Structure 1
């Protein structure tokens, strides 16, 4: 089957797994950012970035994910960070689109450094079929009007879109209303951020007017159900998006690199949320996993991804799944949701080359990488 695509993730968060929390546990979304993610990303070194990329890419391919849209942050190790990630992803054998999340939260100098990192990386990887760039922004929550103007100006002529978190929690909505008198999507629309190549992660707290703006501007939305549940920020109106003709893609926000699992969560979450077992059928989930993720990837890579068609990249996954009921085109989505999982992945091919063969990772020494990653993670935790 086609290799899976993760439409939004964060390799930089890899070393948070098992990380000790040395402050009071967060009680709301902004506190999660302040006490966990912003606490961690400020202390990342370029070596941390590289090994976070390696372990994330390894987990991706082992779970059948062959393409990642990675959204990066390391505010005290910005310059060169995207190249370190690119080096890691390429070494393991995972195709990727990478962006640096520009933010004002650590000062204007670092915001401008983030802008330069995006611009230089996008230019450097023009024509690269394996690694491409998009223009990363954190969220309107941490971006002034002045910085938004700068990024729009900097992106001119790059043939790219922006990759940004949008309305992930109610705090983002309140902040936008306070700053501009407009909701998040409206503010970004007015700033010139939306468009056919722009990627909006989450959109959990969007209303009908905002959804219609997204449809009219053909802006891409990425649903990250597990992360939204974990952060208790709400459920994105994905069912309504589909009714309007918006085609949401599926990502993980770095919560996992297992797109089989993420698909199962998307399948069940909306039924529970809407108290209606008819919504979000397996066919609709597979529409996100394959059609919509593939459509998004086609905007950043020169040949089709997530499809087995003439001319597409040879990114493939082989499963050991043996159905004990009939399986055909009409019921394949239900086999995908109820039968298949990442434990069935035996072989992974990226760009026509085996990355995993008979369960063995061929491209890198997994044991050595994990041991070095443990040492770097310990050192990072000591700096927290």
Structure 2
């Protein structure tokens, strides 16, 4: 029998609530047992971790990331952004996206992995927007993800804004990656497009058909601001979700990101279709896109995950944003409770990505677990306040241990799979060159 890892915790947070004095046993990449610490017997070859001052949680699910986005942090340009289309045309595309190379994608992947492990993220969905980095950029990213030990779905954002040749190359990049990683235990692919204003209807349908044939998720950015719905009304006379619906592009394997400026009819269509969504509360603020109707999406039965967008990768900050922004927007202190946010960041977020075997602590689930310190808070953590304490008052420094598939990526607060200081130095050096403009 293969050696196990036993984590004796101060508590385990299960779907049914907090179990004090419980721990978990990890074996063969799965959670083998969950129960009171004294019932988790250890053999001579097993590793035992004493974490009785920590709570054991499922790893967080970052449902939408752009790892290359690290290059935008603190960048100074002459661009003056006035609204969303200006953000893309005058800043994002010329200064960031069009300048990413495979080498730069690899460097940012390594640093983004540091940030995700530090925050307790064990699974993520990433979209590379870099038309001049293909072919081959996704494979460069995959090498780093395996090195880091994370579980990732990597995809390239295919669209027609550069050229028809680049548009076809984007679809091929995704299709090849999906096929090559069909049996990869850590890294998978997906089919991704940008928007209806950068993709023709025919191109959308082609990408959708490829995703169906390959058995992959089909992803799009959807109505991040008023720009896309205004554009589709002008060009097609309909709202974006209605267009996707008429094209036969909505069902349970669809993942729509952003979903900010959608009306009730569109929300109802998404709910009926079985499509999932991911919300990025903080980056939506950055681009002036608005506040996504997450509560309405949830009420319609849409599975909604939480993503960082690569903007602020401190996942606790992003969860706090989801918790607070909707209360202010709706002027309702009961909107978006801490437990709801936690579910979106774990179990529901996993299901939104089509993953049924992670996102909660239970025997048979993937051994993707984290431990968070619980005895150093100024007020006690208990079964009644656990979600508020986690969402509002914990931070990456409180994440002490991170496991993915039973492999330890963070031990006693220190990342073990990556050289953090080298990753930081490489990132800063790359930025020094990337921030030089002619």
Q: TM-score, normalised by structure 2?
A: 0.83
Matched, 1:67 2:106: no
Which range moves more in the overlay, 163-172 or 359-368?
359-368
Unaligned 5+ runs, structure 1: none
Matched, 1:340 2:367: no
In structure 2, what is the equivalent of residue 311 of structure 1? 364
| Alignment match of 1:93 (pick from 141, 144, 149) | 149
Which range moves more in the overlay, 160-169 or 374-383?
374-383
Which range moves more in the overlay, 151-160 or 231-240?
151-160
Distance (Å, rounded) in 2 between the aligned partners of 1:247 and 1:202:
13
Matched, 1:57 2:110: no
In structure 2, what is the equivalent of residue 363 of structure 1? 417
In structure 2, what is the equivalent of residue 31 of structure 1? 86
In structure 2, what is the equivalent of residue 372 of structure 1? 426
Which range moves more in the overlay, 279-288 or 3-12?
279-288
| More strand per residue | 2
Please report how far the alpha carbon of residue 336 of structure 1 lies from its aligned counterpart in structure 2 after TM superposition: 1.5
| More helix per residue | 1
Confirm or deny: 8 A CA contact 1:161 1:195 kept in the other structure: no
Summarize the alignment of residues 138-287 of structure 1 with structure 2, pairs less than 5 Å apart: 138-287=194-343
Please report how far the alpha carbon of residue 383 of structure 1 lies from its aligned counterpart in structure 2 after TM superposition: 4.5
Distance (Å, rounded) in 2 between the aligned partners of 1:138 and 1:239:
25
CA 1:20/1:324 → structure 2, altered by over 3 Å: closer, same or farther?
closer
Confirm or deny: 8 A CA contact 1:70 1:96 kept in the other structure: yes
Please report how far the alpha carbon of residue 326 of structure 1 lies from its aligned counterpart in structure 2 after TM superposition: 4.9
Please report how far the alpha carbon of residue 328 of structure 1 lies from its aligned counterpart in structure 2 after TM superposition: 3.9
SS of residue matched to 2:213: coil
Please report how far the alpha carbon of residue 296 of structure 1 lies from its aligned counterpart in structure 2 after TM superposition: 2.2
In structure 1, what is the equivalent of residue 10 of structure 2? none
Confirm or deny: 8 A CA contact 1:65 1:257 kept in the other structure: no
Please report how far the alpha carbon of residue 358 of structure 1 lies from its aligned counterpart in structure 2 after TM superposition: 1.6
Count of residues in correspondence between the two structures: 380
CA 1:329/1:159 → structure 2, altered by over 3 Å: closer, same or farther?
farther
SS of residue matched to 2:402: strand
Unaligned 5+ runs, structure 2: 1-56
Confirm or deny: 8 A CA contact 2:145 2:152 kept in the other structure: yes
Please report how far the alpha carbon of residue 252 of structure 1 lies from its aligned counterpart in structure 2 after TM superposition: 1.3
In structure 1, what is the equivalent of residue 46 of structure 2? none
Confirm or deny: 8 A CA contact 1:6 1:65 kept in the other structure: yes
Confirm or deny: 8 A CA contact 1:8 1:250 kept in the other structure: yes
